[in-house]
């Protein structure tokens, strides 16, 4: 299986240009300048993101989310120890659940495909199976794939668009799969009885139960979705029940344009070779001493425990999980720096903590804004997008608005504009533009919408 591969022997002409009319920034989106500050100056993560920037015009935030998630899969056998003040320890795995979230045309799949392709190639060595699990099938099939001896409970669930997973969540007969996912996240031992028939073709067929046991599962998830799909397939119960709060949401907009995306085989081979070391070596133990954990603990107290209590229970449930995610990201930053000695016991340093907090700070606004976006109706979300666009770019025609907000149909946009004009929220002015003979309707805000 290939993941969006465009096979070329040398670098194609990959020139970036700024989009002449990028979509207006939404509160849940992280722009490239902020995303770049969250990436270490050197190490495998930096090299991966730099390579992905050369190959596609997807947002940098998408690259970072995809890279950290695939790295978490490669490091699935590693352990993360956080020491407490009383010298006891907390143990975490490195499984990350990530959603690349953006409007249509923001290159969500291009970004994730590169990272998944490199992980796939790195894991399929010495007759080992790919760490990319089958995305279509039953929970039994997923369990059996994860339980294979050479996978040892480690894998990446990469379905592409997450609509299927969200649909499962809403169906009663699919609850067993969601429960299975939640158990893997908590790294709980799991088994199931596999019925194997013997003596097929005879009148008397015996059967025997074979246990498929996973002692310490480490399952990461990487998927993509537009915000409207997330909204249409989830509700407040989804956020409060514990399933969605386990995800990191990497929301961004595309501000660059590239005529042709591509792949540089030589660069991918180097990146793939390093990732192999993480997969095949004895699992390292990453330690975060109590003193180094203090900046993350203080950030959580200030931004979650003090402020989050005033939030709705659903969003507080999500924010409350940021502490463990910050520790995981700091550990992954540490692994990525130790490209040649990633074995034994490794202690994170202040740089790893610093970059993990930067990711937290950028992600924090996304959680607040995204919950507000998806907790209303689809029409309400589209209306907010329309008003933000006019706030940023007044005097726009219906055609220009439709091109910028591609997820609103022309009929819906026409009806929405008529309604907002009647309510006095926006004004419609007919006037001719320079170089155009005819007059056209241009729309602007008549008052602050927020």
* Model confidence pTM above 0.85: no
Question: Tens digit of pLDDT for each residue in 176-191?
Answer: 778 888 889 998 888 8
Q: What pLDDT, on a 0 to 100 scale, did the predictor assign at position 304?
A: 83
Q: Is the pLDDT of residue 90 over 70?
A: yes
Least confident of 3-17, 138-152, 344-358: 3-17
Q: Which architecture, in CATH terms, is 378-445? A: Orthogonal Bundle (1.10)
Would you state the pLDDT for residue 333? 94
Asked whether the predicted pLDDT for residue 264 surpasses 80, the reply is: yes
126-130, 167-171, 255-259: least confident range: 167-171
Predicted confidence at residue 116, as pLDDT, reads 95
Structure confidence by residue, pLDDT tens digits, 297-348:
999 988 887 766 556 676 777 788 899 999 999 999 999 887 655 567 889 9
Domain 16-197+208-374 listed as CATH 3.80.10: no
What is the rounded CA–CA span in Å between residue 110 and residue 3?
9
Question: So what's the pLDDT on residue 192?
Answer: 73
Domain with CATH 3.40.50 in the chain: 16-197+208-374
String of DSSP letters for 383-412: HHHHHHHHHHS-SB-HHHHHHHSTTS-HHH
Say if residue 15's pLDDT is above 80.
Answer: no
The CATH 1.10.10.10 domain(s) of the chain lie at: 378-445
**Do the beta carbons of residue 427 and residue 446 sit within 8 Å?**
yes
Number of H helices, E strands in the chain: 17, 15
Residue with the bigger pLDDT between 343 and 222: it is 222
Of 87, 188, 182, 194, the C-alpha closest to 140 is 194
Mean pLDDT along residues 157-174 = 73
Largest CA distance in the chain: 87
- Residue percentage of the chain with pLDDT more than 70: 78
- Write the pLDDT tens digit of every residue in 391-403: 778 888 888 888 8
**Whole-number Cα distances in Å, 271 to 10, 45, 121, 196, 352:** 16, 10, 10, 41, 20
pLDDT tens digit string along 136-147? 767 888 888 888
């Amino acid at each position: 299986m290939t993941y969006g591969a465009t096979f070329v022997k040398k670098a194609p002409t990959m020139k970036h240009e700024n989009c002449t009319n990028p979509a207006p920034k939404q509160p849940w989106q992280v722009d490239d300048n902020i995303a770049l500050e969250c990436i270490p100056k050197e190490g495998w993560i930096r090299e991966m993101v730099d390579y992905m920037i050369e190959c596609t015009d997807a947002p940098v935030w998408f690259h970072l989310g995809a890279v950290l998630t695939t790295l978490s899969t490669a490091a699935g056998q590693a352990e993360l120890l956080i020491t407490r003040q009383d010298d006891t320890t907390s143990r975490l795995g490195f499984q990350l659940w990530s959603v690349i979230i953006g409007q249509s045309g923001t290159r969500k799949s291009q970004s994730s495909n590169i990272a998944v392709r490199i992980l796939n190639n790195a894991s399929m060595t010495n007759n080992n199976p790919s760490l990319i699990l089958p995305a279509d099938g039953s929970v039994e099939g997923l369990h059996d794939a994860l339980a294979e001896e050479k996978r040892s409970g480690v894998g990446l669930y990469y379905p592409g668009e997450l609509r299927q997973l969200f649909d499962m969540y809403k169906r009663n007969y699919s609850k067993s799969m969601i429960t299975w996912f939640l158990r893997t996240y908590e790294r709980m031992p799991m088994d199931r009885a596999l019925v194997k028939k013997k003596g097929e073709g005879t009148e008397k067929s015996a059967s025997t139960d074979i246990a498929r046991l996973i002692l310490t599962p480490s399952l990461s998830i990487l998927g993509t979705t537009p915000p409207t799909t997330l909204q249409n397939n989830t509700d407040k119960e989804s956020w409060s029940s514990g399933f969605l709060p386990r995800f990191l949401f990497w929301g961004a907009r595309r501000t660059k344009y590239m005529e042709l995306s591509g792949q540089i085989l030589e660069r991918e081979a180097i990146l793939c070779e390093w990732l192999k070391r993480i997969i095949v070596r004895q699992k390292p133990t990453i330690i975060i001493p109590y003193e180094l954990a203090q900046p993350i603990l203080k950030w959580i107290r200030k931004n979650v425990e003090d402020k989050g209590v005033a939030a709705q229970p659903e969003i507080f449930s999500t924010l409350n999980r940021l502490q463990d995610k910050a520790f995981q990201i700091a550990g992954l930053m540490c692994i990525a720096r130790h490209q040649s000695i990633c074995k034994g016991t490794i202690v994170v340093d202040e740089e790893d903590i610093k970059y993990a907090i930067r990711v937290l700070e950028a992600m924090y606004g996304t959680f607040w804004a995204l919950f507000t976006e998806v907790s209303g109706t689809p029409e309400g979300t589209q209306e907010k997008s329309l008003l933000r666009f006019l706030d940023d770019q007044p005097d726009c025609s219906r055609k220009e608005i439709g091109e910028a907000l591609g997820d609103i149909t022309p009929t819906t946009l026409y009806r929405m504009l008529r309604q907002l004009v009647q309510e006095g929220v926006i004004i419609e002015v007919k006037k001719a533009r320079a170089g155009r003979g005819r007059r056209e309707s241009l729309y602007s805000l008549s008052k602050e919408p927020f």
